[in-house]
Amino acid sequence: MIFLHRKEEQKKKSKAIDREHQQRSGFSVAAQFSSSPTELTSSRGKAKPGFSRMASVTSKTPMLRAAAARGFAAHAQAAAASRGSAEVQTTTLPNKLVVASADPNAAVSRISIVFRAGSRNETADCLGAAHVLRAAGGLSTKTATAFGITRNIQQAGGSLTTAADRELVTYSVAVTKDQLEVGLKYLEATATGQVFKPWELAELTPIIRNELARLPVEVQAVELLHKAAFRDGLGNSVFCPDYLVGKHSSETMQHYFAANCTTNRAAVAGVGVDHQMLVGFAQSLALESGAGGENKSAFNTGEVRREGAGSRAAVAVGAQAVGWNSMKEAMAFWVLQHAAGIGAATKRGTNNGVLTKALAGVNSSSLYNGYSDNGMFGFVLSGDAKDAGKAVEAGVKALKSLSVSDADVARGKASALAAAAEYTENQSTLLHQLGEESALLGQVYKKSDLLAAVNAVTTGDVQAAARKVASSKLAIGAVGNLSHVPHLCELH
C-alpha cells in the first residue's frame, strides 16, 4: 500500500518533467508529493543493435541448483502445492529476511532485493550516500564487471534497475522464465557484491550533476518541505547535496552499505517465480545480519526558502499526518488526498477537489507523504510568482478549515479504489508493492485486503483526518521567485 501513493506521485513527476520541456509553466499538478517520493531509477541491459550477435558468457555454476541445495529441495512438496497459486505468499527466514511472492505463472519473472537503506538512514557525514548507491547499481562487483553485467542482461533480453527513495533502495531484474538463472545471478551480484571502485565512483559525478540540474521546481519544493518539516532523517533529501557530489569515497560507501544492507533490513520479492524457489534464492544471499539503527523523525514547524531568478515560484505546504504503521488512519488520509484533489482526471479538465479548487490560477495538487512511522499532508503548487503568493494564502486557509461531505468521501474512495486495483494488477507495480511492504512492515497486504481497507473508510474517519490537519502546525518549502510568497509567520 505504501507503494501505491508513491507510484502515483512518481508518475505525475514524470509528466511534470515532460510538460516542462513543452512549456515554461511545467508541472502537471501533483508533480510531486511523493515520498518521498522522489524515486530515482537507473537501468542497465537495454538491448542495442549488434549485441544479439555477441556470445553470451554466463555462469558455469548453475546458480538455481546451488540455491536449491541450500533450501529449495527441503521444500519440494510445499513448492508443488503452491505452484499455480496467484495469492500473495510470505515467508520470514530465521535471519529475519522477508520473502514475498505472487502470481508465479506470469510470463515474465520479476525479482527485487530491497533494503531499508534510503536517505533517511544517512548521517551528517554521509549525506547523499543513498543517491550514490542508486547510481552505482550495475557497476563492477566482486564477481562481475559492469560490462559483463550489461552484456549478459542484454543477451538475456532482460532489464536490471536500481531505485531509491527516502526509506528504501531496491534492486530489480526482469527476465523471461528461461533466462531466470542469468537474471538472478547478476541481481545477486549487483545487490550484494558491490565493491565501489574509486574510478567508477568518479565516473558517476557528471551523471549525478545532470540529474540535479534537471529537477523540476515542484520536486525541489517538496524536498525543501521535507527539510523544514523533519530536519534530519526523513528530512534528508533523496538527492545528493550539490556540495557533496563527487565527495563520497569507496570507504564511505562500503560503510553505508554494510550498516544498512543486512538481512534484518532486507526483503526479497518476486512476481512470476515459484515461492519456494525464491525462498531458496533468498537463503543463498551473502548478507550480514544486524538490525542497524532506526532513525525516527518527528514533525516540526519550519520554513526553507530557496530564492531564484525568473518569474515563477513553486511552493509546498504540509501538516502532520500519520504513517503506514497505522493502516486505518493512513487509509483515511489517502482517501482524503483523493477527495482534496490530485489533479485533473482528464486532459484540459478542472481540478475540483475540496482543497485544490481554492488554489486558483496555478497548477496544484494535494499531497500525502506516508512513511513507515510518520506522514505529512498538504498541497504543492507552481505558477507565476504573484499568483503563487495568493494561492498559498488561499490554500493555507482552506487547509485550516478543511472539511469533506459524504459526496466528497465517495468520490475520494472511488479514486483510491481505482488506484489500488490498477497497481495491484500491474506486475511491475505489484513487485514494488510486495518489496516495500515486506521491507517496511514485515507483511504484505493482498489486493482484497487493500480494497476492503479502502471500502471500510467512513466519512467520520476522513473528517477526523481533516481535523487533524486543520489543528496541526505547518511547514513550508519554496523555490523560485519568492518576492510575493508569504513567510510562514505571516500565514499563522
pLDDT attached to residue 44:
52
pLDDT for 62 beyond 80: no
pLDDT of residue 80: 40
- Per DSSP bridges, beta strands 266-271 and 98-102 are parallel
Q: pLDDT at position 31, please?
A: 31
Q: Is the pLDDT of residue 87 over 90?
A: no
Q: What value does the mean pLDDT of the chain take? A: 85
pLDDT at 69 over 50: no
pLDDT > 70: percent of the chain: 83
Which phi-psi region, left, alpha or beta, contains residue 38 (left: φ > 0; alpha: ψ -120 to 50)? beta
Same fold, 89-217+233-284 and 302-490: yes
pLDDT digits (tens, 9 = 90+) for 169-208: 999 999 999 999 999 999 999 999 999 999 999 999 999 9
Q: Where is average pLDDT lowest: 14-18, 159-163, 194-198, 207-211?
A: 14-18
Position 291 scores a pLDDT of 77
Q: What is the per-residue pLDDT across 316-336, written as a single tens digit (0 to 9) for each?
A: 999 999 998 889 999 999 999
Q: What is the pLDDT of residues 361-382, one digit of tens each?
A: 899 999 999 999 999 999 999 9
User: pTM of the predicted model, to two decimals?
Assistant: 0.83
User: 146-155 and 180-192 are packed helices; what angle lies between their axes, rounded to 10 degrees?
Assistant: 160
Q: What does the pLDDT average to over 41-65?
A: 39
The pLDDT assigned to 103 comes to 85
Q: Residue 282 pLDDT > 50, yes or no? A: yes
Q: How many residues does the chain have?
A: 492
Grid look-up 557528471 returns 206
Model confidence over 197-243: pLDDT tens digits? 999 999 999 999 999 999 999 999 999 999 999 999 999 999 999 99
Residue 10 has a pLDDT of 53
Instruction: Assess if CATH 3.30.830.10 describes domain 302-490.
Output: yes
pLDDT attached to residue 1 = 54
pLDDT for 296 = 86
**Maximum Cα interatomic distance, the chain, rounded to a whole number of Å:** 69
Residue 53 has a CB neighbour count (10 Å cut-off) of 6
pLDDT digits (tens, 9 = 90+) for 385-423: 999 999 999 999 999 999 999 999 999 999 999 999 988
Q: Which residues pair with 163 in a beta bridge?
A: 41, 170
Q: Closest Cα partner for 225 from 169, 165, 301? A: 301
pLDDT tens for 287-297 read 998 877 778 89
Q: Is the pLDDT assigned to residue 111 strictly greater than 80?
A: yes
Q: Which residues pair with 306 in a beta bridge?
A: 479
SS3 sequence of 240-274: CCHHHCCCCCHHHHHHHHHHHCCHHHEEEEEECCC
Q: Say if residue 127's pLDDT is above 60.
A: yes
The grid coordinates of residue 405 equal: 461531505
Q: Under a CB-based contact definition with an 8 Å cutoff, are residues 164 and 170 in contact?
A: yes
pLDDT at residue number 64: 40
The pLDDT value given to residue 271: 95
Q: Which of 47, 273, 269 has its CA nearest to residue 158?
A: 47
- Residues 136 and 200 sit within 8 Å (Cβ to Cβ): yes
Q: Beta-carbon neighbour count of residue 210 at 10 Å?
A: 9
H or E stretch at 89: strand 89-92
Non-local (6+) Cβ contacts of 379 within 8 A are 316, 317, 340, 355, 356, 359, 364, 365, 366, 367, 395, 399
Q: Which residue has the higher pLDDT, 282 or 69?
A: 282
Quickly list H helices, 316-405: 327-340, 385-400
- CATH code that applies to domain 89-217+233-284: 3.30.830.10
Q: Does 11 score more than 60 pLDDT?
A: no
- Tell me the domain boundaries of the chain: 89-217+233-284, 302-490
What pLDDT score was predicted for residue 4?
55
**pLDDT category, 25, cuts 50, 70, 90?**
very low
Rg (CA), the chain: 23
Mean per-residue pLDDT, 121-134: 95
Rounded to whole angstroms, the Cα distance separating 283 from 311 reads 56
332-354: average pLDDT: 88
Model confidence band, residue 312 (pLDDT cutoffs 50, 70, 90): very high
Identity of residue 281: F
Q: How confident is the model at residue 58 (pLDDT cuts 50, 70, 90)?
A: very low
In this prediction, residue 207 carries a pLDDT of: 96
Residues with Cβ within 8 Å of 94's Cβ and at least 6 positions away in sequence, in order, are none
Q: Which three cell numbers stand for residue 153?
A: 542482461
Provide the pLDDT for residue 343: 82
Tens of pLDDT, residue by residue over 416-463, are 999 999 888 889 999 999 999 999 998 898 889 999 999 999 999 999
Beta-sheet strand order (sheet of 266-271): 40-44, 159-164, 169-176, 108-115, 266-271, 98-102, 89-92
pLDDT of residue 463: 96
Between 92 and 78, whose confidence is greater? 92
